[in-house]
Amino acid sequence: MKYLFCGHFYTTGSGYTTILTHLGLELCKRGHEVLIMGIDWDTQTHYYPFHVAPIGRKWLADTLKFIPDEWGADRTLIAIDIPALNLLHNHFIEQDDKQILWKTEAIFPVENDPLQTSWRDALYPYKNRYVISEYAARICGASDLPVTHLPMGCTVGTPPKTKSAPRELLNWPQDKTIFLAVADNNERKSLPLAMKAFKRLPQKEAVFYLVTRLHQENGWDFTELATRMGIEDRFIPISYGVPQHALSLMYWAADALIVPSQAEGACLPIYEAAAHGLPVICGTWTAMQDVQNEPWVLTTGYDYDYIFPRFNADRWMASVDDIEQRMLDIHLKRVDVDDMREKAFDFAQNRSWSHAVDILEETAP
C-alpha cells in the first residue's frame, strides 16, 4: 500500500517530524511505500527508507489536491494542528472541493478543552481522524466528534551503566544535579517559570540545560533572561538541531525533565524521557493527564488559569513553588529516583510505534 503523509518535517526536529519519521519507518518495515511531503523540509540528505519531498506551507492545499492521484496514493494523511486543518477545510469549502477532505485523513493533537464548535465542524469531513493522546480522545468524544486514539510510541535504547559516561561525552559536570527541558520557544511552553523555580535552588549544586529554538520570532531571549535572573553561570541554552544521538545522551545524562507548559498536545519529550528512564516534572492538565498518575512523574499544581485570546484556548500557569519543590525532591533525593528511573523504562518498553501502525492498518478505509 502507498502511504502519503503531509506535515511539518524539519531538519532541526519537531513533534511532527518525530511522529512522521517513526510511522514511516514502521510502515516501510511492513512493506508499504511511504512518501512524506515535508512542510519546510530543507532537502538535506537523509537515509530514511522512505521518500521525502519539500513543500511550502502555501502549497499544502494544492499538494492535497493533485499529488495523491499523481503518485497513486492509497491513503493520504495530514499531520498538522487543528487551526491549520480548519484553514484547509475553509479553503476547500470555498473552492467547492469538499471531496478532497473526504479522501484525506487527519492526525492532530488537542491542546485545550472544550473543543470549539467551529473546529469540530471543520474536522468532521475528514475521512479518518486520529488524535495523539487519550486526553484528546476524551475531549473530542465529549463534542460528539468520532476519533481514533493513535498512541505515541517510545524508542528505547540501551541504558548506560552510570550517568558518568554520557556526562563525560557531553562535557557536563559529574557532581551536580542536572535538569533538562526540551521545548519550543513560545508562550505556551512557559519556560521562564522553570527558570524562576531553578533560581531558588542551592547555587553551585545544580545545572539547567534547555534545548530550544534560540532565535524564534516572538520567543524569549534566554541568554538575557538568565543574566537578569542571575543564573547565567548554571543555565545553558542549546539550539534546536542537536543530532539525535546527542539529544539521547542528554536524556541519559540528566536527572529530571522539566515540562512547565500551559498546555500540551502530544507530550513527546515526556515519552522520550521515559524511553531513557528519566523522571519527569509536569502539570496535570491537557495531554499531561495521560501520564499524571505514572510513578516516574512528579506533578505540579497551577497558580491560575485563563483563556488565551487566540483560539479561545484554556491555559494553566504552573505553580513556581510546586516546580521548585519537585526539583528539590530530585535534588535532595526525597523521592526514590532509582525506582522512578526503572518504572519509566518499564513504561517505555510497553509503548511501541509498532502498536500505532497496527491501529493505522486496522482502521484503513
Question: According to the model, what pLDDT value does residue 311 have?
Answer: 79
159 falls within a domain: no
53 falls within a domain: yes
pLDDT at residue 284 greater than cutoff 90: yes
Here the CATH number for the domain that contains residue 260 is 3.40.50.2000
Query: What is the domain count for the chain?
Result: 2
Distance CA 89, CA 77 (A): 14
Question: According to the model, what pLDDT value does residue 12 have?
Answer: 65
158 falls within a domain: no
Question: According to the model, what pLDDT value does residue 114 have?
Answer: 85
Residue type at 345? F
Q: How many CB atoms are located within 10 Å of the residue 46 CB?
A: 14
The dihedral of CA 287, 183, 272, 236: what is its sign?
A: negative
Given a contact cutoff of 8 angstroms between Cβ atoms, the answer to whether 269 and 182 are in contact is yes
The verdict on 134 and 24 lying in the same domain is yes
Question: According to the model, what pLDDT value does residue 47 have?
Answer: 85
The verdict on 249 and 116 lying in the same domain is no
112 falls within a domain: yes
The verdict on 22 and 146 lying in the same domain is yes
* Arithmetic mean of pLDDT over the chain: 94
The verdict on 68 and 188 lying in the same domain is no
Here the CATH number for the domain that contains residue 43 is 3.40.50.11930
The verdict on 182 and 197 lying in the same domain is yes
pLDDT, tens digit (0-9, with 9 covering 90-100), for 209-232: 999 988 888 899 999 999 999 999
328 falls within a domain: yes
The verdict on 316 and 254 lying in the same domain is yes
Average pLDDT for residues 68-87, to the nearest whole number?
Answer: 95
The verdict on 129 and 215 lying in the same domain is no
The verdict on 218 and 335 lying in the same domain is yes
Q: Which phi and psi (to 5°) does residue 168 adopt?
A: -65, -45
The dihedral of CA 166, 295, 177, 211: what is its sign?
A: positive
332 falls within a domain: yes
Average pLDDT for residues 102-125, to the nearest whole number?
Answer: 92
The verdict on 186 and 95 lying in the same domain is no
pLDDT at residue 255 greater than cutoff 80: yes
Question: According to the model, what pLDDT value does residue 142 have?
Answer: 94
pLDDT at residue 106 greater than cutoff 90: yes
Query: What domain range includes position 194?
Result: 164-349
The verdict on 358 and 339 lying in the same domain is no
Residue type at 77? L
pLDDT, tens digit (0-9, with 9 covering 90-100), for 10-59: 766 678 999 999 999 999 999 999 999 999 887 777 889 999 999 988 88
Mapped to the 3 state alphabet, what secondary structure does the chain carry? CEEEEEEECCCCCCHHHHHHHHHHHHHHHCCCEEEEEEECCCCCCCCCCCEEEEECHHHHHHHHHHHHHHHCCCEEEEECCHHHHHHHHHHHHHCCCHHHHHHEEEEECCCCCCCCHHHHHHHCCCCCEEECCHHHHHHHHHCCCCCEECCCCCCCCCCCCCCHHHHHHHCCCCCCEEEEEECCCCHHHCHHHHHHHHHCCCCCCEEEEEEECCCCCCCCCHHHHHHHHCCCCCEEEEECCCCHHHHHHHHHHCCEEEECCCCCCCCHHHHHHHHCCCCEEECCCHHHHHCCCCCCEEECCEEEEEEECHHHEEEEEECHHHHHHHHHHHHCCCCCHHHHHHHHHHHHHCCCHHHHHHHHHHCCC
The verdict on 129 and 113 lying in the same domain is yes
pLDDT at residue 203 greater than cutoff 90: no
pLDDT at residue 165 greater than cutoff 80: yes
Q: Is residue 129 very low, low, confident or very high in pLDDT (cuts 50, 70, 90)? A: very high
The verdict on 175 and 301 lying in the same domain is yes
Please state the pTM of the whole predicted model. Answer: 0.94
The dihedral of CA 331, 335, 338, 344: what is its sign?
A: negative
Q: Is residue 312 very low, low, confident or very high in pLDDT (cuts 50, 70, 90)? A: confident
200 falls within a domain: yes
